[in-house]
Amino acid sequence: MRLLLIFISIAGLIIGCASSSKNSDRLDSLENLVTLEQPDAEPNEKAKVYIDSLKTIHHNNSRALLIHGTFPDGCTKLGAVSHHTDGDSLSMDISAWRNPNMMCTQALTPFSYLYDDLTEEELDTHKQIFINGTPFELNYE
């Protein structure tokens, strides 16, 4: 009887955890997640950033934009991400930088970035987002 009670308690705990909201913290599961980095006093030059796809995900009880892309080498850092609306268009500016004095691997380096500064209304009303002038279709989770 005691074994049955223990089993039921453990099963209830597992079911409770499995059914938790879809807003659970999934940042650990996102591959190649980067944050914004500023060069400060480090020598730097503007670098290219290539965007592959956009997707909305649930994060911290709201929706956020997950940006997938690649850097041209292993030393490039994401510098700034901002957005603005112009009429019916939603545009984003994404910039990157690198230290020109560093030896870097010359291979495309994948990255993901979570941008949570868009409102629900902006995400709902814009199915196409321009990033650095290039249009991207918005995919939904």
Task: Kindly report, residue by residue over 28-44, the tens digit of the pLDDT.
Answer: 668 899 999 999 899 99
Domain boundaries, the chain: 29-140
pTM confidence score? 0.77
Quick one: pLDDT at residue 126?
87
Amino acid at 137: E
Q: Are residues 26 and 112 in contact, defined by beta-carbon separation less than 8 angstroms?
A: no
Asked if residue 141 lies in contact with residue 55, where contact means CB atoms within 8 angstroms, the answer is yes
Q: Which of 120, 119, 139 is nearest to 128 (CA)?
A: 139
In whole angstroms, what is the distance from residue 62 CA to residue 122 CA? 13
Tens of pLDDT, residues 78-119: 999 999 998 788 999 999 999 999 999 889 999 999 999 999
pLDDT band for 23, please (50, 70, 90 cuts).
very low
